[in-house]
Amino acid sequence: MWTDRELLGALQRGDDEAWEEAFRRLYPSAFAAARHPLAALTPSEAEDIAIEALTLLLPKVNQVAEFDELRLLVITIASRKAISEKRRQLADKRGGGDVTSLDAMQDDENLRFEPAEQLTGRLSPTDLRELSRLLDAALAGLNPSHAGLLRDFLVHHLPYKELAEKYRMPMGSVGVTLARGLEKVRAHLKTSPKLSKELYSYLR
Amino acid sequence: MDADSFNDLALRVLAGEATDHERRALEAELTAHPERRDEFDQLKRTHDLLRAAAPLTGAMSAKEPELPAHRLNELRTAVRQHFGPAAQRTKAASASGWFSALRWIFAGGGATALATVMVLLFFSNRSIEVGLYGTDLMRGGDASLSPADVPAAKLLTFDQDAPFDQWQSQPLAWYEHAKVWVDNEHDLLHVVHRVKHGHIVIQSLPLAPTTAGQRDQIKQVVELLEK
């Protein structure tokens, strides 16, 4: 069994077995990132994106200092590719004869995908690790059920109806609880002004 | 409208959960109370940021699914293409340290390595192979394909069916990018080539009717493959 340090060294030397082990370890993260809810790709499309993202680690392996950076890298690569793929699919569909309100559809796609594409394209592994820490800290400060609700809304993009059923909550309370939770996360983000400034600038 | 109701309504609109009536209500509220515009913008920025980035943080702890076994080969190919075929040996060489490396070089390993590199370079420059019957070349005369027409490829001629069939059915070797052959029986030009991440694609194109046309067709295909 490789330690992370040994594994990274072997990867940088181009050891075939080490790469196989790394691909096995990283695939679940790559696949989860490729299934970004905004992209809403099918499992088989997400598998293709995840495999492609794994191969794109090869030229980057000498630029990282720890194995875990490869995980963060593959996540940002796979999610960006998944969102771009979805956007491409929609553009193809539009070019394929569906001409209803083209400008409106284009605007809608830009609104939906552009911020996420910008963000995932520019998010560094360090940003992602820091954001994850802040998000965990913010959620830890909430009532566990409200934290679960907010996590499902943000991470899995569950609709209000499913959230209300899962957390046995009236539909009317879902929005209020989410809005209060978001406010707490925003307060946590403010404790790291450099990161939040950077992240918000990526959305523009 | 109190703060909770406003935040609830705004978030509903941002999350795509609002009805037309609710969207109009938000617009009316923002028009009537412009000071709330800033509140809305901040909520929107937080919402957009977290809905885009939070799924990535979720992916950090993902434990499944397992890497599908049928995708492993293309990943292995990508590793070989990136590091070259001697990746495994690199590990052994570095593990045994400088002393054994020097001893290996003085013992003739260096010459072997040099020869290997030369062979690799030779093949990598010739990674496209074009196969055809020698008799086709003779029959075609000046109009037939010559090595000068396809400098990026290696021209292989066959005199018998069996070796030609065997060559066609062999999978691409690691150093090969593509192979192309003329199928006079079906008037087709077959092209087997690698695309991204080691995927291998097989294409069959209608063969040009004249020898000169076929020569130009093969030249074009090789040029495209080279790019």
| Residue numbers of A between 119 and 148 with CB closer than 8 Å to B | 119-120, 123, 128, 131-132, 135-136
Under a CB-based contact definition with an 8 Å cutoff, are residues B56 and A120 in contact? yes
Q: What percent of chain A has pLDDT over 70?
A: 90
Q: Are residues B109 and B141 in the same domain?
A: no
Relative orientation angle of helices B87-104 and B72-83, to the nearest 10 degrees: 30
Residue of A nearest to B4 (CA): A176
Number of domains chain A is built from: 2
Q: Are residues A19 and A113 in the same domain?
A: yes
Place of tokens 């009805």: B19
Rg (CA), chain A: 19
The residue out of A74, A94, A123 marking a domain boundary is: A123
| Whether A203 and B10 lie within 8 Å, measured CB to CB | no
Q: Which of A27, A58, A132 sits opposite B78 (nearest CB)?
A: A58
Number of domains chain B is built from: 3
What SS3 string covers chain A?
A: CCCHHHHHHHHHHCCHHHHHHHHHHHHHHHHHHHCCCCCCCCHHHHHHHHHHHHHCCHHHHHHCCCHHHHHHHHHHHHHHHHHHHHHHHHHHHHHCCCCCCHHHHHHHHHHHHHHHHHHHHHCCHHHHHHHHHHHHHHHHCCCHHHHHHHHHHHHCCCCHHHHHHHCCCCHHHHHHHHHHHHHHHHHHHHCCHHHHHHHHHHCC
Over residues B33-71, the pLDDT tens digits come to 999 999 999 999 999 999 999 999 999 999 999 999 999
Q: Looking at the domain assignment, is residue B65 inside a domain?
A: no
pLDDT grade, residue A115 (50/70/90)? confident
Across A160-169, B40-49, B140-149, B187-196, the highest mean pLDDT is recorded for A160-169
Instruction: Give me the domain span that covers residue A32.
Output: 4-123
Q: Are residues A133 and A92 in the same domain?
A: no
Q: Which of B8, B57, B196 sits opposite A131 (nearest CB)?
A: B57
Q: Are residues B54 and B75 in the same domain?
A: no
Instruction: Give me the domain span that covers residue B104.
Output: 70-120
Mean pLDDT check: name the lowest of A69-73, B9-13, B38-42, B127-131.
Answer: B127-131
Over residues B101-112, the pLDDT tens digits come to 555 555 556 556
Q: Is B151 helix (H, G, I), strand (E, B) or coil?
A: coil
The residue out of A75, A97, A123 marking a domain boundary is: A123
Identify the sign of the CA torsion B9, A113, B64, A141.
negative
Structure ipTM:
0.89
B163 pLDDT above the threshold of 90: no
Is pLDDT larger for residue B92 or for residue A42? A42
B125 pLDDT above the threshold of 50: no
What pLDDT, on a 0 to 100 scale, did the predictor assign at position B109? 60
Instruction: Give the separation between CA A73 and CA A78, rounded to whole angstroms.
Output: 9
Q: What percent of chain B has pLDDT over 90?
A: 31
Q: Looking at the domain assignment, is residue B104 inside a domain?
A: yes
